[in-house]
């Protein structure tokens, strides 16, 4: 069966307050609007990636007391998102996973505040099953009697006595 992957990249500031791992009210509203069941389809797999920049972990002392490094911070954020999307889409945990990259996969070099803001993000990958549509030739379906071809001549399947 064929699958389709759609990736949603969402800025960390749209989902979390600085230094937080619990979703903001605005973040919850955004996720609910973005991932309505009828918009997504039948989910085969859901992967949530957490990314940070190279500074955020060190700028908030309460984070460094709770987590060992920025990878753990990105994991905590990915789990927060996973929990809300799981509820929105009514998914069970068997096909859901997280990836925590911390600051290891930046989109831009961590050289400016703007670049750091771009690197603080979440990537939500939704893999859905693609159903192939079958098209029927209207001429074939409108025939009332089955036919057979013998030596390129059409023979109707009717009995003659």
pLDDT averaged over every residue in the chain: 83
Q: For tokens 């071809």, what's the residue?
A: 149
User: Average pLDDT for residues 13-18, to the nearest whole number?
Assistant: 93
Strands 147-150 and 153-156: antiparallel
Does this model's pTM top 0.85? My answer is no
Tell me the percentage of the chain whose pLDDT exceeds 90: 57
> Rounded to an integer, what distance in angstroms lies between the CA atom of residue 116 and that of residue 107?
9
CB 45 within 8 A of CB 104: no
DSSP states along 92-127: -GGGEEEEEEETSS-SS-TTSHHHHHHHSEEEEEEE
Q: What is the pLDDT of residue 136?
A: 60
Which comes out higher in pLDDT, residue 148 or 8?
A: 8
Q: What is the pLDDT of residue 1?
A: 73
């Amino acid at each position: 069966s064929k699958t389709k992957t759609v990736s949603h990249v969402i800025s960390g500031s749209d989902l979390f307050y600085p230094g937080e791992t619990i979703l903001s009210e605005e973040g919850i509203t955004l996720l609910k609007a973005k991932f309505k069941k009828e918009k997504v389809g039948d989910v085969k797999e859901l992967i949530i990636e957490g990314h940070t920049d190279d500074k955020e972990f060190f700028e908030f002392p309460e984070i460094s007391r709770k987590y060992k490094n920025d990878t753990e911070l990105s994991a905590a954020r990915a789990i927060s998102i996973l929990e809300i999307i799981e509820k929105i889409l009514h998914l069970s945990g068997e096909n859901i996973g997280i990836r925590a990259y911390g600051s290891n996969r930046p989109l831009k070099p961590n050289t400016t505040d703007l670049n750091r803001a771009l690197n603080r993000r979440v990537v939500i990958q939704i893999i859905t099953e693609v159903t192939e549509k079958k098209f029927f030739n209207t001429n074939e379906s409108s025939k009332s009697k089955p036919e057979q071809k013998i030596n390129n001549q059409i023979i109707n399947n009717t009995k003659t006595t």
